[in-house]
Copies of this chain bind each other. A is one copy, B any other.
């Protein structure tokens, strides 16, 4: 279970936090660290705080975009302290660990942690299938990013100790993040084609909600193929219906 979990840190400012994160990960049996546009990395402060987890730092990969870092992931979970106006499926750390364990041994997941002061942007959160929220003092709810990562890693490890090894549905092929993105692109394009969306009248709330519906559905590759088949059929019918271009 732990081998298929990637920790993604987005735009981390303090290299010390990256080192502390590596240490927390290694303590809890995690090893796959992805860094999206870290401010300073590699850095001696990261090495110092890693305190023996330098193998995690050495193996860490740096990406230019969050999309690149989660491209091959089936499930993406974004850590968020703020309550968002948009309701997104939320998990506690324990529920997050249970959900990953239930996904079985083939499920590749990513848990995404945002900037020290600003967390993840709404656009980044939209890439996530779930939000992860650590219940805490509502008057002082901003955990240090490495501390949050320590709590989540701890829950993952505790769950892994008791996780059943085999999965119930082993022949399921979940869609990757890349396939989900292509599907969303196709969906939005089709909504323009049929006039449901207009250039001057796009609603981020609406497209976000559509994203959420399909993220929550835990789509398989086959589901994606069927849904895109339907979208293509709609596009063909729509083009047939258009008056011929002059």
**Which residues of A pack against B, CB within 8 Å?**
20, 23-24, 26-29, 49, 51-53, 87, 89-90, 92-94, 133-137, 140-144, 146-147, 150-151, 154, 157-158, 161, 165, 168-169, 172, 191, 194-196, 206, 209-210, 213-214, 216-219, 222-223, 226-227, 229-230, 233-234, 237-238, 240-242
Q: Is the CB of B92 within 8 A of A165?
A: yes
- How many copies, total? 2
Q: Is the CB of B234 within 8 A of A140?
A: no
Q: Is the CB of A134 within 8 A of B147?
A: no
List the B residue with the shortest CB-CB distance to A223. Answer: B213
A52 contacts across to B, CB distance below 8 A = 140, 142
List the B residue with the shortest CB-CB distance to A30. Answer: B137
Partner of A230, one of B51, B169, B191, B229: B191
> In the complex the two chains form, what is the Cα distance from A214 to B210 in whole Å?
12
Instruction: Output the least CB separation between A60 and chain B (Å).
Output: 16
> In the complex the two chains form, what is the Cα distance from A204 to B151 in whole Å?
37
Q: A133-B168, A168-B90, A226-B209 are in contact. Are A237 and B51 (CB under 8 A)?
A: no
Q: Is the CB of A136 within 8 A of B29?
A: yes
> In the complex the two chains form, what is the Cα distance from A56 to B157 in whole Å?
30
> In the complex the two chains form, what is the Cα distance from A161 to B195 in whole Å?
49
Q: Is the CB of B210 within 8 A of A140?
A: no
Q: Is the CB of B226 within 8 A of A217?
A: no
List the B residue with the shortest CB-CB distance to A131. Answer: B168
Q: A216-B216, A226-B206 are in contact. Are A137 and B90 (CB under 8 A)?
A: no
> In the complex the two chains form, what is the Cα distance from A196 to B134 in whole Å?
45
> In the complex the two chains form, what is the Cα distance from A227 to B191 in whole Å?
11
Q: Is the CB of A196 within 8 A of B230?
A: yes
The 25 listed contacts between A and B (C-beta, < 8 Å) are A20-B144, A23-B147, A24-B143, A24-B147, A27-B136, A27-B137, A27-B141, A29-B136, A52-B142, A53-B140, A90-B169, A136-B154, A150-B150, A194-B230, A194-B237, A196-B230, A210-B226, A213-B217, A213-B227, A214-B217, A216-B217, A237-B237, A237-B241, A238-B241, A240-B241
A141 contacts across to B, CB distance below 8 A = 27
> In the complex the two chains form, what is the Cα distance from A26 to B87 in whole Å?
27
